[in-house]
Structure 1
Amino acid sequence: MNIPRSFHQALSECGLIAILRGLRPEEAIAIGRALYDAGFRIIEVPLNSPDPLASIRALRDALPADALVGAGTVISAQACADVAAAGGQIVVMPHSDPAVIRAAKAAGMACAPGVATLTEAYAALAAGADILKLFPAEALSPAVLKAWRAVLKPPVALVPVGGITPESIAPYAAAGASGFGLGSALYRPGDSAADVARHAAAFMQAWRLACPGA
């Protein structure tokens, strides 16, 4: 088993997931350490980044054991094996294919499929999903999340992803979000570690204000 602790535990300690789309292996360690120092404990490198498996390996080797590192934009079962071989511990998907969820779990990784309807959400949970990625969040408002929470009670984790900014955290948190996936507002290709540290601090401040008990 690759996972030293549960996805839920890491998410409860810091509900912010870094999505580093476009990250290059040579910058991975500096950016990963900046995020870890800011309080982030879950980092995702989408597979449509340059040499993503090398970045995942670099992050996993460089960061402390309480950080979880894995891949996003995972769309095939074979990719799960590749991610696990690179030291990945989590698989994040844009969709909800049960075969990919099962492959991630069989490889000893946690899995966060993307869901946009309650039907998809329940099917993903039945297939073994650890958390549910509400994607795209731009189409799933806090009101929608609140309605989902009427039937998807904790400990089911609901994590909006897509267009999240520090300003949008509070309304989603009030509606019952368990955490957030942060993309271009946290990291864009070309950003330095100092840039990412500054963005991360703004998100952490928003998270702590919205979830003071977290």
Structure 2
Amino acid sequence: MGVTEWLGRCPLVAILRGVRPDEVEAVGDALVGAGIAILEVPLNSPEPFESVRRLAARFGDRALVGAGTVRRESEVAALAEAGGRVMVTPHADPALVRAARARGLVTMPGFLTPAEAFALLDAGADALKLFPAEAGGPPMLRALKAVLPAGTPLLPVGGVDAASLPAWRAAGAAGYGCGSSLYRPGDTPEVVLAKARALLAAL
């Protein structure tokens, strides 16, 4: 499935910053059980590639598993070797998009300006992550949609929570990257499940 199909299943991307390998499967069970289908382990988490490996092995085709905060081509290689299938970056680096596409990965690189967005799309990005989204808010996303190619999936990331989701949806977001509003280090699977249900209800 392409990124549009995954976002169609559930537009929330779970950003599990700080998750540990020994807890990641239970947290993943809670999220996938709630209906969330895209799981991202940022690379500034403890042993992130081991967490990716465990999630990918546990969920197979039931979830799109990958890594965020990817900044180097060596990390793209390690992500693919761990079984990850989606790469998310915090910044606009077309070379990383090309490297990830060469390995068959879905790419959701970060951007903040139109120039960055077009450069990433020219490199073959599947979707674009507006980050930090709270800097411009829904009006910025709406303006970007007017100039980017029709159908470009835009996902706000940064400060997205149940209260702000309706405004982002009205602005035309295709998906939503949710970090602390879904998971904080130390959250139990039960807490994560309750957060997931609250976000899904807000949609």
Q: Distance in 1 between matches of 2:136 and 2:85?
A: 27
User: Residue type matched to 1:65 in 2?
Assistant: D
* Aligned-pair CA distance for 1:154: 3.6
* Aligned-pair CA distance for 1:99: 1.0
1:127 aligns with 2:119: no
Q: Distance in 2 between matches of 1:66 and 1:134?
A: 26
1:183 aligns with 2:179: yes
Q: Distance in 1 between matches of 2:92 and 2:60?
A: 30
Q: Distance in 2 between matches of 1:16 and 1:189?
A: 19
* Aligned-pair CA distance for 1:66: 2.8
Match runs of 1:70-149 below 5 Å: 70-149=66-145
SS in 1 for 2:152: coil
| Residue range with higher mean Cα deviation, 193-202 or 57-66 | 57-66
* Aligned-pair CA distance for 1:59: 0.6
* Aligned-pair CA distance for 1:44: 0.1
TM-score by length of 1: 0.93
1:201 aligns with 2:197: yes
Q: Distance in 2 between matches of 1:154 and 1:181?
A: 21
* 1:45 aligned residue: 41
**What stretches of structure 1 move > 3 A for 4+ residues in a row?**
none
Q: Distance in 1 between matches of 2:87 and 2:60?
A: 19
Aligned length: 203
* Aligned-pair CA distance for 1:152: 2.0
TM-score by length of 2: 0.98
Q: Distance in 1 between matches of 2:134 and 2:28?
A: 27
- CA deviation profile, 1:165-188 (whole Å, cap 9, x unmatched): 101000111011111000011100
User: Residue type matched to 2:166 in 1?
Assistant: A
- CA deviation profile, 1:19-65 (whole Å, cap 9, x unmatched): 00000001011100100011100000001100001100111111151
Q: Is the 8 A contact 1:20 1:188 kept in 2?
A: yes
* 1:171 aligned residue: 167
Counterpart of 2:7 (choices 11, 25, 28) is 11
Q: Is the 8 A contact 1:134 1:140 kept in 2?
A: no
* Aligned-pair CA distance for 1:153: 4.5
* 1:212 aligned residue: none
Could you tell me which runs of 5 or more consecutive residues in structure 1 were left unpaired when the two chains were aligned.
Answer: 208-214
